[in-house]
Amino acid sequence: MAQFIQLVEQDKKSIDDGLLAGLTAPQASTSPKYLYDALGSKLFEAICELPEYYPTRTEAGIFAKHAQEMAQAIGVGTTLIDLGAGNCAKAAKLFPHLQPAQYVPIDISVEFLRDAVSRLQQQFPAIDMIGVGMDFSMDLQLPESVRSEKRLFFYPGSSIGNFAPDEALTFLQQIKAACTQGGAADGGLLIGVDLVKENSILDAAYDDALGVTASFNLNLLLHLNRLLDADFDLREWRHRGFFNDKLSRIEMHLEAASDQTVRWPNGVRRFEHGERIHTENSYKYTHQSFISLLTEAGFEKVTTWTDPQQWFMVCHAHAA
């Protein structure tokens, strides 16, 4: 039976303080992690099925075609640590190839993860599974029950793009340190990275015709209403998603459709028509720029796999 560990109970005051600091800043913003409550996680699953949203199917195609090569580069019997595991489906497809000794899915959406791990353990009863509910963007100190041998951190979906480049470097350095924690050897990273491409393809992927991405973004306001006891009116906000050429990143915003005042206990913010809340970035890399970032973070022996259109890249790197 799968274990489940909620490593740190989220401190409501620190969550409130962080959210309010972002919402009351001159340029209002929130962390993208607040997009992923239970409903947000389900909406993101739906986004991954959209025709415009190429990252999921392109990355899946790379894994399907090259999984055996990846297994040869990585070796079997790893401690597979799945960062932002969601429904665990991506990692599960690699189980027959990687044959992990232990699977450790980590996600901030605790209830969603608990259900996913329970279902997966029934399908793969021979694999030791420990689900961990934690915010890994803040801390990568893992429970003692997580094996130190052959740690393979799995970070698919180009989620590394949510970090600004300097933050991405720091995060990759933390992963590298966790790979070699306690003097362990043979650690590594298997990571998906979205590559720079035509603006029209990028814009459509984050502003789909069906409006699922808009719902995903707007659901953030429902989450904020619950967390802060705020009174955001979803009908008065619009989704905006587009590629910023200068900064090589997709930006997602929520834009006020009218002048309005939002209230919460002990606080208030006036939003003018057209004013935005910056909710997410997704940085896009070139092949070489990301390999350079891995090298700077302390990884070596980088192997890469891409799709025929060079839209997406999967990298395996050893912890030096």
Q: From residue 208, how far is each of 48, 67, 184, 216 by CA, in Å?
A: 11, 30, 44, 11
Q: Let me know: does 63 contact 93? Beta carbons within 8 Å.
A: yes
Mean pLDDT value across residues 147-162:
94
Mean pLDDT value across residues 34-49:
92
276 against 267, higher pLDDT: 276
Q: What's this model's pTM, rounded to 2 decimal places?
A: 0.89
Least confident of 129-133, 182-186, 191-195, 295-299: 182-186
Least confident of 4-13, 62-71, 73-82, 95-104: 4-13
pLDDT tens per residue, range 78-93: 999 999 998 899 999 9
With tokens 């997704």, the residue in question is 282
119 against 238, higher pLDDT: 238
Gap between the terminal Cα atoms of the chain:
35
pLDDT value of residue 191: 98
pLDDT value of residue 239: 98
d(C-alpha 25, C-alpha 210), whole Å: 32
pLDDT value of residue 182: 66
pLDDT value of residue 23: 96
pLDDT tens per residue, range 171-184: 999 999 999 876 66
d(C-alpha 233, C-alpha 181), whole Å: 46
pLDDT value of residue 300: 95
Question: Band of the pLDDT at 11, cuts 50, 70, 90?
Answer: low
DSSP run (H or E) holding 315 = strand 312-319
Number of residues in the chain: 320
Which tokens in the block code for residue 180?
Answer: 């070699």
pLDDT value of residue 86: 84
Least confident of 54-68, 115-129, 136-150: 136-150
Give percent above pLDDT 70 in the chain: 97
Q: Is the pLDDT of residue 8 over 70?
A: no
d(C-alpha 304, C-alpha 317), whole Å: 9
Domains of the chain from N-terminus onward:
1-229+284-320 (3.40.50.150)
Question: Band of the pLDDT at 9, cuts 50, 70, 90?
Answer: low
Question: Band of the pLDDT at 10, cuts 50, 70, 90?
Answer: low
Question: Band of the pLDDT at 121, cuts 50, 70, 90?
Answer: very high
Which tokens in the block code for residue 275?
Answer: 């004013």
Least confident of 28-32, 117-121, 315-319: 117-121
pLDDT value of residue 113: 85
pLDDT value of residue 50: 97
pLDDT value of residue 183: 66
